Amino acid sequence: MSERNPLSGSPLSGGERLDSEYVRGLLKVYFIMGSINCRRPAAEVLKEAIAGGVTIFQFREKGTGALTGAAKLDLARELQGICRAHGVPFIVNDDIDLAIALDADGVHVGQDDEPARILREQLGSDKIIGVSAHTPEEVRQAIADGADYLGIGPVYPTSSKDDARPVQGTVLIESLRREGISIPIVGIGGITVNNALPVLAAGADGISVISAIASASSPRLAAAELANQEERE
């Protein structure tokens, strides 16, 4: 199967950034993973997850035992190739240099990283920039800086991140939607097939998971079940 840029020919807004509704559609089943999250080779897990219905993928190689240097780059290239072969956007977590080196489809950053407006200057207008936000103030700043979407959470308790913030449930997502804030939102943190529906009902456009797919005995089935939750909402 030949590789292709998932964002090639994608709709642009008047400012030549990716259209917000297009980005919203990409967030439905957002899979985040690195080598330390998998029971089997990461490439196998990603292929199965995409077959099950993953709509966007974030490479997050962090934590004890994570790959570094050339090994990290090699894995990133392998996973990016799988994404491109299936038309799934490939996002890099935090590492702007890696994103540029790979010509990734975008980056996702936290509150301790460069703001979206600086990243936009480095990446260009046609890349996806996601920002993690935990308070109304962080949300408004990310929007002002030009983020394409927000990751809101942790919605539920999670063991996937050592530096996870306090659990906040769906309160922030609900309040943002009540205020009429329409930026694409993906919920994150402890989401499984059994608790995804309240996140979507609160106003999230998609659900992002690590363990629910990466640690599953069948990543394909796990992804498919999460995709079905989207259809039920």
Q: Tell me, yes or no, if 77 is annotated catalytic.
A: no
* CATH code: domain of residue 99: 3.20.20.70
128 assigned to some structural domain: yes
Give the number of domains in the chain: 1
Q: Tell me, yes or no, if 132 is annotated catalytic.
A: yes
**Binding residue positions:** 58-62, 93-94, 113, 132, 158-161, 190, 210-211
Total count of residues recorded for the chain: 233
- Cα distances (angstroms) measured from residue 176 to each of 135, 166, 186, 190: 10, 18, 13, 21
12 assigned to some structural domain: no
What pLDDT does 165 receive? Answer: 78
3 assigned to some structural domain: no
What pLDDT does 123 receive? Answer: 95
Give 211: exposed, middle or buried? Use CB within 10 Å, 0-12, 13-18, 19+.
middle
**Active-site hit among 17, 24, 47, 60:** 60
Cβ(42)–Cβ(34) below 8 Å:
yes
Provide the whole-model pTM: 0.93
What pLDDT does 163 receive? Answer: 61
148 assigned to some structural domain: yes
> Which amino acid is it at 40?
R
What pLDDT does 10 receive? Answer: 61
Q: What is the pLDDT along the chain (233 residues), one digit of tens a residue?
A: 456 566 665 665 445 678 999 999 999 999 999 999 999 999 999 999 999 999 999 999 999 999 999 999 999 999 999 999 999 999 999 999 999 999 999 999 999 999 999 999 999 999 999 999 999 999 999 999 999 999 999 999 987 666 667 899 999 999 999 999 999 999 999 999 999 999 999 999 999 999 999 999 999 999 999 999 877 76
- For residue 217, give the nearest of 22, 24, 52, 29 by alpha carbon: 52
What pLDDT does 14 receive? Answer: 46
11 assigned to some structural domain: no
DSSP conformation letters of 102-166: HT-SEEEE-TTS--HHHHHHHH-TTSEEEEEE-SHHHHHHHHHTT-SEEEE---S--SS-TTPPP
Burial 153-187 (b: 16+ CB within 10 A, else e): bbbbebebbeeeeeebbbebbeebeeeebebbbbb
Q: Which domain holds residue 146?
A: 20-232
1 assigned to some structural domain: no
215 assigned to some structural domain: yes
What pLDDT does 159 receive? Answer: 74
**Active-site hit among 161, 175, 182, 215:** 161
**Binding residue positions for Mg(2+):** 94, 113
What pLDDT does 230 receive? Answer: 77
**Active-site hit among 17, 35, 84, 132:** 132
Q: Tell me, yes or no, if 47 is annotated catalytic.
A: no
> Which amino acid is it at 17?
R
